[in-house]
Structure 1
Amino acid sequence: MSALGGVVRSGVGRRRVQTVVIGLVVMIAVSAAVLGGSLMVASRAPFDRAFAQQRGAHLTAQFDATKTTVAQLSASMHATGVTAAAGPFPTASITPAAARNRATQSITVVGRADPGGPVDAVTPNEGRWVAGLGEIVLHTDSRLPKSLQPKVGDVLRLPDLAGSPTLTVVGVARSVSETAGGWVTPEQITALTAPAPGGGYQILYRFAKSATTAQVDAGRAAVEADVPAGALTGARSWLTTRTNSAGNTVLLVPFLIAFGVLGVLMAILIIGNVITGAVSTGTHRIGILKALGFTPGQVVRAYMVQALIPAATGAALGVVLGNVLILPILAQTNEVYGTADSGVAPSVNIAVLAGALLLVALTAWAAASRAGRLRTVDVLAVGRTPSPGRGQWAARLAARLPLPRPVTLGLAHPFARTLRSATIIAAIAFGAAAATFAVGLGTSLTKVQASENNADVVVQPGRPVNGPPPEGGPRGTSGPPQAPDPVAVAKAITAQAGTSGYSGIAETQVTAAGLPDALDILALSGDNSSHGYEMIAGSWFGQPNEIVVAKPFLTATQTEVGDTIVLVSNGTQLTVRIVGEVFNIQSRGMEILTAAATLTPAEPELRAMTYDITLKPGTDPVAYVEALDTALASAGATARIAEDEASELLLVINTLTTLLTLMLITVAALGVLNMVVLETRERVHDLGVHKALGMTPRQTIAMVIASVVVTGLIGGAIGAPVGVMLQRVIVGEMGRVTGFDLPASVINIYHPAELVLFGLGGLLIAVLGALLPAGWAARTRTATALRTE
């Protein structure tokens, strides 16, 4: 056994509290880093990961069976640029009667015998695949609440078809390409086709080149050239589905990076404090080691290794804990995005483990280097307790307060060692800032996601025609439906008791000068079209030929509010003026909002496909929907309660916020614990004197806890404003990086009362960290304390 090894083992065994603190801090920091890093890997292009895993379709094409044959369609599957194809699958559209309090929605069903295949491998989530007539597997959108999701065992009644057939749900599955609302056996399609000539077929294509709109369009043109003219009735590019999916994760990665950086900084602070405290309390021992012949380098290495031993153990446990915590959270993200892998990335584990040990080594070296510089004669003459007279002014001032003497003694303690007290204040401030920042960031992101939901009730078409939704098709539908009668819908909505306002939405696509790709445009009508949209600059449109757009559109077109721009719709040029900038993350901020009359010259037959309705306060949404649904029966539309489409993602964000906040607060409390332990052990002789004079265990606990009250209040008072500043800076930067200007409601989310609570949170952290040392001090025997110097 080497002499240096003996010193290391002795130090680790003697300083049990510091050893445990280092191990726990590193474990929490590493587990948080593994959690954040794994989620960053998992959330990086989640749609792309799911698309690759399920071999998604680059083009979902619908064909008219009366204008082509199966042989011609099969030939198109070998068109130029096509690398894989699946089909032809027969299709039909059905309108099930409402069940389980779910409003009626028309869905496109595809006859498909096998969920696998070379394209669009459908992923079963529950139940089994269809095996015979009278069975259906429904597509699930896990962003919807559980109450609105299909369930195995549900029976769908089809009163509009001859004989009112029924379909039993035998499975629930997900298609990343969103190629259908449900799947049945191919033989079932005939019975589901309404009396009408012909039918439809669906083919799914994968292309050799599909990264851009132009490449997908080229593949579509090659397919269309191999079938008779007019046979292709609708098609959707995978880029459209990908763009719509991107809005859900636009801010997730910066969110995780912010927490990761915060956790690393706190770990460095606490570990540095622990090593510095060990050197401070071990100066006499350091002098003895040097007197025995230990070189400055050996002394520094001894303290470094004393930190690395518990750090290595904590890091290993942190990797395990991080991977355990990531599994249930990634189960939620897999459900949201349709991915099927575990999400645990070995590269993240290795990088975090190596980085943590390197940071601990560097931090320990920086803190322990002071031990190597101490002179032997000086450190042998240094005592552990503060020099007489230090902080006496604070003791005299505290004694005048109308408080019990043990409390006033504790209040004066922080001023005896101002540098160490400053360290405790820093740890507490860091914890309070972390809590303030975490809660604020989570609230801001929740508000961002909530900005996508602008209605209490949604009215949708009740009967679509066969086929998949075209590019830019209306949201919330699974096929290109027939537009409901706008006059009848408006009359039914306005006549309904409880209606506060409504907006009709017709969605189509236009091109803009200077932009190569088509853009989604919402043509809005009604008396409440601006509801739910946050204005950044300018105003909402008030007349035709005025548009409202988000910051990414202004950046892409190099325009400003007040400028005019030319849009092209159906070959017709429309000169419009930008009157306002709005916060709108749909289509990555490239969506255009305007009055319905703006598009009338180009698309005179364009009608609203959905209607968003806001209710008066106190209105029962269930009763409202039931009454409105009855009134809409003759208008070709149905009503349903609007739901939060990002509910699962918000659950992920809120879970992360709570988990990481608790981790960071625990790290801060551990830092306080370490400092209070050092302070209590240094004053153990004074503690014995107090006990000999009659101080009870309860009074001892009160004195130790009172010693952190001042530092807790100061730390909280500093940390809460710092947390607010961090939240505003980082949220604003996140908006800038993603190309958005964020509204004040997303940034300014704190109330004065909340800030007071966050400030008092610093006191809570301090008290939590001081409880264990206070109990140790209360249990210390008087004789033992008096013998200690």
Structure 2
Amino acid sequence: MRATLRWAHADLRTHRGEALFLVLATAGIVASLLLASALFGYATNPWQRVFTRAHGAHVWIHTAPSADAARLAALDGVESVSGPYRTASATVQSRGAKATVELRGAHGRPPTTGRPLLDSGRWLDPGTPDGVVLDKGVARALWVEAGDTLTLPGARRPLTVLGVADHAEPRYRPGERSGTVWALPSVLERAGERTGQVVGLRLTDPDDTGYAVQRSVTELGARAVTQVSSWQQARAEAQDDTRLLGQVLGLFGLGALLAAALAVYGAISTRIRGHLRDISVLKAIGFTPGQVVRVFLAQHVAFALLGTVLATVLIETLGSGIPGRLGDAVRVWQGLPGHAAALLAIPVGAVLFIAATTCLAAWRAGRVPPVPVLRSAAPAGSRLSGPARRALGLRLPPALVLGWHRTFARSPRSPATIARLALPLLLITVALSAWTTIERFDSTPEQVGAAAALTARADKGLDDGEARALLEADDRVETAHPGVEVAALVPGQTGTIALRGLGTREDPYPFTVAAGRPVQGPDEAVAGQGLLDLLDVQVGDWVRMTVGGHPQVLHIVGRSIEPENAGRVISTSLDTLRENDPGLRPTLHRLQLRPDADPRAVGAALTRASDGRLDIREATDPAAGLAPLRGVVLALIAVLALIGLTELSTVIGGSVREGERDLLALKAVGLSPRQITAVTVTAVAGTALAAAVVAAALGVPLARLLIDAQGRSSGMGAGIARTPSLWLLLLLGAAAVVGAATLAALPAARAVRRRLADTLSAVA
């Protein structure tokens, strides 16, 4: 044991840089996997925790005011009911900010099922008849808290915010979905026209949600049901903001783990080939094959352990201090029940995975004979291929020809070496593709389904003509497309989707069509990927839906990229919807601005020009949830570059050792020390160049495949990927080649200056 430790210590002193690279690379990989686990927990468990504490309803059904929603409590499979509650649609204001809300009539005691969880303040009190409780999304949009007041148009007295609550229903989205404000029934009476009811159903079996919705719609009648939302929809929306971050970190973490494992395998294999004489000496003095295997395995498992412990300690102690969503995710994750198990399983799994790949390479060390096998020192030129001889005949630089020959023709191990070095470069190419795709969302949003920068909604006292005149009076507005958005029941009546009528046939809205063609004729529509998946239809099919109790049949002629509502959107022209309902009037305008216009400045100017009669909202930013990915991508590139450096150090060491056997022959044929150094540098640079070419050739299509697959799974749809430009790929390849040549120059020059006796011992 003492001899084993002494040999391991001597070997570590000889290869300090390589050991440091392995430790840091392992630490980066494990840190990525731990952050991925934190993001997954942050995405799913907060909503689940709220749902459990609130004894949440699995289905929320909005009905007409005349429907007898209380009958749903008697349906089979319904465990309990929340409501029914009277509702009224209203717009509340605070300090100039507006929010469209659903006023929900409640009582002085919170309900048992679907109970709002107070974050601050208190619940409704009959002693404060003008008091209301806001959901967190509305409170955040209005910048209010308990004790502030709200203005309700038509009401003589302001509303007092008694509390702010969280709930497990689909969250508030400005311009898309109303928020929830709980108020006493007397407040609803002053709010104006009563718009309907809402009832929540908690089911005995959550998997029967679709069937329960069908039964409820059948019981009440399709005309009486205006909107349906389920717990799956609410959970999916709660996951949307962080799920992509978790998937990216998990994918690249696993890829980096594989790259690191292969780098370890290559490092051990190269070290064994370079230390055959030392291994033979170990066996000659009494080391058994098992002891030789164990010494290599223990050494690299120790590196892996050190890296995993370093990563685990850093994430556990400093992870919550990371700015932004990653820090929030770590804080939430540390309070979840599965935190301790993940904190143990991920590092242990990483160490075992690296150990498994190490075993195969270390096993080769046990097969080395105790008597060194003499290797021939034949001149390199005796084994030159035909193309290499012809290249020398053309008086090309000998160093270039011999270095290229050593890279591709000397050893069957060259393809494996190129593959190992290409893997981190391939993952970097994929990471750069993710970066350029995010940049596409910012620079050209019209290519990813966000052609309109602003959405304008007029108050009831402002008709469509006046609103359109106000909007088009600003020369920064290129086009104001009239439109309407309503909730529609899908076939089977198991849920609702968003049905949009935007633009007219004379002035069509510029939908981003990724497959099929744009809307051209009557009854034609384009649909998002989420809707196609929900209804199990494809481009070319006809779909039937119910809007306000009336059927609407549309022909899907194209698939559009839809960043909103998880892609569960079907869009047609306003003219098509008017054919089914001639009295339909636009409720909104989508504004396309000039390229140099600032959406916020235009929105503020339009609000002032209309004296507040226009509610101007910025369109949903498709890149809003992707902004944290930039920092993640940079961190991943750094980790992958570190792994690439680890593999490159192995390539350099192997090339220098293989060059030692040719050193005497190259000197004998007249090559100068500088030319011999150039042979090794060229061999290493050629390996890096081949790896960069392979990485670009495989990484670009792989990146497009992965990003489009993510687009399909999120409902946005394929067609959003943008691969790096040719110049960026050339820059990556050039950096790899120049870096390899620079790092190889010093070791190659030192090898040439070795003493003759050392060189003879190396080839023996």
TM-score for the superposition, normalised by structure 1: 0.73
1:498 pairs with 2:476: yes
Sort the Cα spacing of 1:784 and 1:184 in 2 relative to 1 into closer, same or farther, 3 A: farther
Which residue in 1 is equivalent to 2:640? 664
**Superposition map of 1:544-693 within 5 A:** 544-551=522-529, 553-554=531-532, 560-584=538-562, 586-600=564-578, 602-632=580-610, 637-642=614-619, 644=621, 647=624, 649-677=625-653
CA contact (8 A) 2:226 2:487 kept: no
Q: Give yes or no for the alignment of 1:455 onto 2:452.
A: yes
d(CA) in 1 for partners of 2:345 and 2:507? 50
Say if 1:182 and 1:592 are closer, same or farther in 2 by CA, change over 3 A.
Answer: closer
Alignment partner of 1:282 out of 265, 268, 275: 275
Map of 1:452-491 to 2, 5 A cutoff?
A: 453-462=450-459, 485-491=463-469
1:537 to 505, 515, 528: 515
One-letter code aligned to 1:208:
T
- Kept in 2, the 8 Å contact 1:291–1:376? The answer is yes
Match of 2:204 among 195, 208, 229: 208
Paired with 2:622 and 2:494, the residues of 1 have a C-alpha distance of 30
1:521 paired with 2:514, answer: no
SS at match of 2:29: helix
Instruction: Tell me by how many angstroms 1:731 deviates.
Output: 3.1
Unaligned runs of 5+ in 1: 463-481, 691-697
Distance in structure 2 (CA, Å) of the matches to 1:157 and 1:193: 17
Q: Distance in 2 between matches of 1:628 and 1:268?
A: 59
**1:758 paired to 2:758:** no
Corresponding residue for residue 302 of structure 1: 295
Q: How much does 1:274 deviate?
A: 1.2
The corresponding residue for 2:349 is: 355
Matched to 1:345, the amino acid is H
Partner of 2:175: none
1:174-185 aligned within 5 A: 174-177=166-169
Kindly report which structure 2 residues correspond to 1:66-105, keeping only aligned pairs within 5 A, or say none.
81-83=78-80, 85=82, 93-96=90-93, 99=96, 104-105=98-99
* Residues 1:34 and 2:34 aligned together: yes
Question: Partner residue of 1:377?
Answer: 371
Q: Which residue type is aligned with residue 279 of structure 1? A: I
Q: For 1:334 and 1:461, how far apart are their aligned partners in 2? A: 40
Question: How far is the alpha carbon of 1:31 from its aligned partner?
Answer: 2.5
Native 8 Å contact 1:135 1:184 kept in 2:
no
Identity %: 23
- Structure 1 SS opposite 2:632: helix
Query: Alpha-carbon deviation of 1:508?
Result: 2.6
Cα drift, residue 283 of structure 1: 0.7
Alignment-mate amino acid for residue 732 of structure 2? F
Query: What per-residue deviation string (whole Å, max 9, x for no partner) do you get for residues 176-214 of structure 1?
Result: 425888899968x96897476999998766443454144
Secondary structure of the corresponding residue to residue 613 of structure 1:
strand
- State how 1:119-138 maps to structure 2 within 5 Å: 119-122=114-117, 124=119
C-alpha distance in 2 between matches for 1:178 and 1:334? 25
1:643/1:740 CA distance change after superposition, 3 Å: closer
The 5 Å alignment of 1:407-446 reads 425-444=418-437
User: What is the CA distance between 1:615 and its match in structure 2?
Assistant: 0.7
1:724 aligns with 2:721: no
Q: Conserved in 1, the CA contact under 8 Å of 2:42 and 2:329?
A: no
Q: Deviations over 1:125-173 (max 9, x none)?
A: xx7668997998754549x9x9x67266997663846667486x89876
CA distance in 1, matches of 2:80, 2:494: 26
Following superposition, the deviation at residue 266 of structure 1 comes to: 0.5
> 2: distance between equivalents of 1:113 and 1:770?
77
Partner-residue secondary structure (3-state), 1:638: strand
Q: Distance in 2 between matches of 1:121 and 1:513?
A: 32
Give distance in 2, aligned partners of 1:440 and 1:424: 25
Letter in 1 for 2:313: V
Deviations 1:704-737 (Å, cap 9, x if unpaired)?
Answer: 9777444433332332222212212333444566
Deviation for aligned residue 1:288: 1.3
* 8 Å Cα contact 2:312/2:343 also seen in 1: yes
Name the CA distance, whole Å, in 1 between partners of 2:509 and 2:245: 26
- Give aligned pairs, total: 739
SS at match of 1:547: strand
Residue number in structure 2 paired with 1:467: none
Task: Summarize the Cα distance change of 1:162–1:251 in structure 2 as closer, same or farther, 3 Å threshold.
Answer: closer
- Superposed counterparts of 1:99-114, under 5 Å: 99=96, 104-108=98-102
Q: Measured at CA, do residues 639 and 204 of structure 1 come closer, stay the same or move farther in structure 2, by a change above 3 Å? A: same
Question: How far is 1:280 from its partner?
Answer: 1.4
What is the one-letter code of the residue matched to 1:353?
P
> What amino acid maps onto 1:459 in structure 2?
A
Matching residue's letter, 1:363: T
Q: Report Cα offsets for 1:405-449 as digits up to 9, x if no partner.
A: 999999999689766776664444333222111121344467579
How far off is 1:650 after superposition?
A: 0.9
Aligned partners of 2:699 and 2:414: how far apart in 1? Answer: 21
Give the gaps of 5 or more residues in structure 2.
Answer: 173-177, 667-673
Q: 1:258 corresponds to which letter in structure 2?
A: L
Instruction: Give the TM-score normalised by the residue count of structure 2.
Output: 0.75
* Letter matched to residue 19 of structure 1: A
Gap change, CA 1:179 and 1:88, over 3 Å in 2: farther
Shift of 1:659: 1.7
Secondary structure (helix, strand or coil) at the match of 1:377 reads coil
1:42-57 alignment to 2 at 5 Å?
42-43=42-43, 47-48=47-48, 51-52=51-52, 55-57=55-57
User: Residues 653 and 513 of structure 1: is their aligned pair in 2 closer, same or farther, counting only changes over 3 Å?
Assistant: same
Query: 1:40 touches 1:256 (CA, 8 Å); kept in 2?
Result: no
Partner of 2:264: 271
C-alpha displacement at 1:760, in angstroms? Answer: 2.0
Contact in 1 for aligned 2:648/2:740 (Cα 8 Å): yes
Check conservation: 2:100, 2:179, Cα contact below 8 A: no
CA–CA distance in 1 between the matches of 2:131 and 2:677?
70
RMSD (Å), alpha carbons = 5.8
Pair 1:113–1:570, CA change in 2 (3 A): closer
> Helix, strand or coil: the match of 1:378?
coil
Change (3 A) 1:320 1:505: farther
Pairing partner for 2:718 from 724, 739, 742: 742
CA distance in 2 between counterparts of 1:282 and 1:15 reads 12
SS at match of 1:274: helix
Q: SS at the partner of 2:483? A: strand
- 8 A Cα contact 2:418 2:688, kept in partner: yes
Secondary structure at the aligned position of 1:496 is classed as coil
2:251 maps to amino acid:
A
How many angstroms apart in 2 are the aligned matches of 1:220 and 1:727?
Answer: 44
Closer, same or farther: CA 494–21 of 1 in aligned 2, 3 Å = closer
| Contact 1:440 1:749 (8 Å CA) reproduced | yes
Asked if structure 2 preserves the Cα contact closer than 8 Å seen for 1:629 and 1:639, the reply is: yes
Q: 1:620 to 1:419 in 2, by over 3 A?
A: same
Contact kept? 1:59, 1:238, Cα under 8 Å: yes
Alignment-mate amino acid for residue 629 of structure 1: T
> Residues 149-160 of structure 1 correspond to what in structure 2 (within 5 A)?
150=143, 158=151, 160=153
AA at the equivalent of 1:375: P
Contact kept? 1:504, 1:529, Cα under 8 Å: no
